[in-house]
Amino acid sequence: MKSNEKKILSQKTQSVINFIIGVLIVLMFIIGALGKMQHSEVLHNISNIFFPFALGMIMFIFGVSLNRRKQPEDELSRELMLKAGSAAIFFVLLAILVFGITMDVIGSARDNPKFSIEGSDVVMFGQFVCGVYMAAKSAVFLWLDRTPKGEEEE
């Protein structure tokens, strides 16, 4: 019998993968929301190209990840991931605040008293928040897990 010959996916690589997926989700939301709010043909054409590309990238990354074993968590990485998760909440709240202000400004600037948010917009916003959390948590973990400059030369 063959032993488990799958390559190991390190904690840093897993975080980079999560960061890339989170950024793709956020970009898909921003392009889609701006295209819908501005009724822009250019943004619509960009989204027609970018969305299938982004979804294909996410599926490709997911497929590659499935063929690899994940490195087991150690105590330090678990502690850093908890710190990264609590710090990522700040970025989620900041994104919600910026999005709320942007929606208010765009709704007011268009002089549209019936500027409304539909159910699909709420779902898109939920995906946006998840993408921000995923990207922020992974970025903070990578930042916390870096090697200090003094130790790199040894």
The confidence score (pLDDT) of residue 121 equals 74
* Neighbour tally for 150: CB within 10 Å: 7
pLDDT in tens, 105-147: 766 666 655 556 666 777 788 888 888 898 999 999 888 887 7
With cut-offs at 50, 70 and 90, classify the pLDDT of residue 19: very high
Q: Which residues contact 17 (CB under 8 A, 6 or more apart)?
A: 9, 61, 65
The confidence score (pLDDT) of residue 111 equals 62
d(CA 48, CA 31): 10
The confidence score (pLDDT) of residue 30 equals 82
In this structure, of 12-26, 85-99, 104-118, 132-146, the range with the lowest mean pLDDT score is 104-118
pLDDT in tens, 30-77: 887 777 766 667 777 888 888 889 888 888 888 888 888 888 888 888
Angular region, 11: left φ>0, alpha ψ -120 to 50, beta rest:
alpha
For the chain, domain boundaries: 10-145
Please tell me the pTM assigned to this model: 0.74
d(CA 144, CA 30): 28
